[in-house]
C-alpha cells in the first residue's frame, strides 16, 4: 500500500482541517479513520521515504494517504555498563567539559528563548517503509505545529545526534581526536569502543509504574499533594474537577492561606493549562492555555545548543519536546567512565520546571522560578530510577568530604 502515490489535499492557512466543528491536522484525521482509531497527536506519526508531500515538508499540498505514515515506536534503550574502575583522560573528557560549563559559567539569571522564533528550522525526518510493531498508547490532545527535531545543534557543548542510540554491550571512551567541535562543525561526535571488560555491571532501563510526578508551587511554597502520573497523557489545568482523574491535575482545587492577589490573578489565567505527554521515549509539553507557559529543561536546552538553564517560552497552541530518552541514554553511557560526580550531575536533567502566565530569567523582572506566582516541578521517574541504579553500582564519590572540608 505504501508504494501507491500520494493522496493530497490543499494546505489550509493554519494547516488544519475542520471536521464536525473541531479542527485537527488532516493527516492525523485520515490516519485515525483508516488505520489507528486511538491516534490523537501528530507526534505519533512519521512520514515514510516514499511520501513526497508529507505534512512536515510544509508544501502547498498535504499527503493524507494513511499508508504513507507510520506510528512512532518506543526505542529500546541499551543497558549502561558500569565499570568498577574509572578510566578516562581528563584532558579529552567531553562530559567533564560539559559539567564544568554548567558549574562555572552559571549566569546570574537564566537566558530566555521563545518557541518557535528562537529555534532553528530543521528538516523533516523520513523513514523507510517497514512493518510497525507495538506502539505506545496515544495521548489525548489536539494537534499543533511540529516540535523541533531531537538532534543536538552544533552549538551544543558537545555534538551528539540524539536519534542514534549508544551501541549496546560496549564501554564508551572518547579518543584524543574527538575533542569538542567548533560551533560551525557539522560532524557527529565519534566514539571508540574498548575491548570487552570483565568487570562491568550492566544496568538496564525499566519503565516505572508512574512515568512522572508533578508538584505545584506558588512562589517558594509547595501547595497540595504531589500528582503521580500513570497515564502517558496528563493535563495540568486551572479548573476544579474533584474526581480522582488519573489524567488531570486540577490546580483550581488547591488552597493556600498565604495566597496573595497576584497569585489569585495568575491562577485565573491558567485555564486549560498544560498538556504533558510521553510517547516514543520522548516527553512533550503543549500549551493549551490562552497565556504562554515557560519551561526550563536541561535536556531540551542541550538538544538545541542553549545554555543549560535557559527558560523557553511556549506560546498558546504550541508544543515542544522537552525530554529525549535516547539523548539521556547517550549522556549516561558516556558519563559512567568519568566518575560518580559527573553521573550525579545528570540528576538535574531529570527535573523540569514550568511556570504559568508569568516568565522568569534575564528578560523578565523575576530572576528565579520561585519568584513566579504559579509553577510546577516535574520529576521524570524512569531516568531518575536508572540513574539511581547506576550510582548504586558505582559506589561512593572519589572526592572525600569531611566536617572540615
Chain segment 198-244, per-residue pLDDT in tens: 577 888 999 999 999 999 999 999 999 999 999 899 999 999 998 88
> How far apart are alpha carbons 240 and 256 in whole angstroms?
15
Query: Between 48 and 403, where is the model more confident?
Result: 48
Answer yes or no: are the C-beta atoms of 6 and 51 closer than 8 Å: yes
What are the CA-CA distances from residue 337 to residues 40, 46, 77, 95, 391 (Å)?
A: 41, 35, 19, 10, 12
**What pLDDT does 322 receive?**
96
pTM: 0.66
Strands 112-114 and 311-314: parallel
- Phi/psi for 70 (5° steps) reads -130, 155
**What pLDDT does 39 receive?**
80
Domain ranges for the chain = 8-71, 75-396
**What pLDDT does 219 receive?**
95
**What pLDDT does 129 receive?**
40
Question: If you average pLDDT over each of 45-54, 81-90, 91-100, 141-150, which comes out highest?
Answer: 45-54
Q: What does the pLDDT average to over 123-132?
A: 43
**What pLDDT does 220 receive?**
94
**What pLDDT does 402 receive?**
66
Angle 94-104/325-335 helices, nearest 10 degrees?
A: 110
Topology at the third CATH level for domain 8-71: Smad3; Chain A (3.90.520)
Q: In whole numbers, what is the pLDDT of the chain averaged over residues?
A: 76
Query: Between 142 and 307, where is the model more confident?
Result: 307
Q: So what's the architecture of 75-396 in CATH?
A: Sandwich (2.60)
For residue 404, the cross-strand partners are none
Cα-based torsion angle of the residue sequence 385, 389, 392, 394 in order, rounded to the nearest 10 degrees: -120
Which range has the worst mean pLDDT, 72-76, 100-104, 165-169, 284-288? 165-169
* 8-71 and 75-396, same CATH topology: no
Beta strands in 280-386 (DSSP E): 282-287, 293-296, 311-314, 319-324, 351-356, 375-380
- Look-up of cell digits 485555564: 271
Amino acid at each position: 500500500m505504501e508504494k501507491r502515490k500520494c493522496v493530497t489535499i490543499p494546505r489550509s492557512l493554519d494547516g488544519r482541517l475542520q471536521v464536525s466543528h473541531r479542527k485537527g491536522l488532516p493527516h492525523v484525521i485520515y490516519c485515525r479513520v483508516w488505520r489507528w482509531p486511538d491516534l490523537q497527536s501528530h507526534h505519533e506519526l512519521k512520514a515514510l521515504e516514499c511520501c513526497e508531500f508529507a505534512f512536515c515538508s510544509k508544501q502547498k499540498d498535504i499527503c493524507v494517504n494513511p499508508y504513507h505514515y507510520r506510528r512512532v515506536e518506543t526505542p529500546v534503550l541499551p543497558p549502561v555498563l558500569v565499570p568498577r574502575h574509572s578510566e578516562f583522560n581528563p584532558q579529552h573528557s567531553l562530559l567533564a567539559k560539559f559539567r564544568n560549563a554548567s558549574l562555572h559559567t552559571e549566569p546570574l539569571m537564566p537566558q530566555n528563548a521563545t518557541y518557535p522564533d528562537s529555534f532553528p528550522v530543521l528538516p523533516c525526518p523520513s523513514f523507510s517503509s517497514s512493518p510497525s510493531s507495538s506502539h505506545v498508547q496515544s495521548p489525548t490532545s489536539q494537534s499543533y505545529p511540529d516540535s523541533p527535531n531531537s538532534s543536538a545543534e552544533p552549538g551544543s557543548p558537545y555534538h551528539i545526534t540524539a536519534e542514534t542510540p549508544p551501541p549496546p554491550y560496549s564501554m564508551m571512551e572518547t579518543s584524543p581526536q574527538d575533542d569538542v567541535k567548533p560551533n560551525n562543525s557539522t560532524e557527529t561526535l565519534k566514539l571508540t569502543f574498548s575491548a570487552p571488560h570483565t568487570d562491568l555491571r550492566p544496568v538496564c532501563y525499566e519503565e516505572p509504574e508512574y512515568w512522572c510526578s508533578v508538584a505545584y508551587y506558588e512562589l517558594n511554597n509547595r501547595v497540595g499533594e504531589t500528582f503521580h502520573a500513570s497515564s502517558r497523557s496528563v493535563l495540568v489545568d486551572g479548573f476544579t474537577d474533584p474526581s480522582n482523574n488519573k489524567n488531570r491535575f486540577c490546580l483550581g482545587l488547591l488552597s493556600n492561606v498565604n495566597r496573595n492577589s497576584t497569585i489569585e490573578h495568575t491562577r485565573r489565567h491558567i485555564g486549560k493549562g498544560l498538556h504533558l505527554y510521553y510517547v516514543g521515549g520522548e516527553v512533550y509539553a503543549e500549551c493549551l492555555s490562552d497565556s504562554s507557559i515557560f519551561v526550563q529543561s536541561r535536556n531540551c536546552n542541550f538538544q538545541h545548543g542553549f545554555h543549560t538553564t535557559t527558560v523557553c517560552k511556549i506560546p498558546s497552541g504550541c508544543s515542544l519536546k522537552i525530554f529525549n530518552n535516547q539523548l539521556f541514554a547517550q549522556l549516561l553511557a558516556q558519563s559512567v567512565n568519568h566518575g560518580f560526580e559527573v553521573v550525579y550531575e545528570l540528576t538535574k536533567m531529570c527535573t523540569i520546571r514550568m511556570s504559568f502566565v508569568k516568565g522568569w530569567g534575564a528578560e523578565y523582572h523575576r530572576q528565579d522560578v520561585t519568584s513566579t506566582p504559579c509553577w510546577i516541578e516535574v520529576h521524570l521517574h524512569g531516568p531518575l530510577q536508572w540513574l539511581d541504579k547506576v550510582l548504586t553500582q558505582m559506589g561512593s564519590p572519589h572526592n572525600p568530604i569531611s566536617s572540615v572540608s
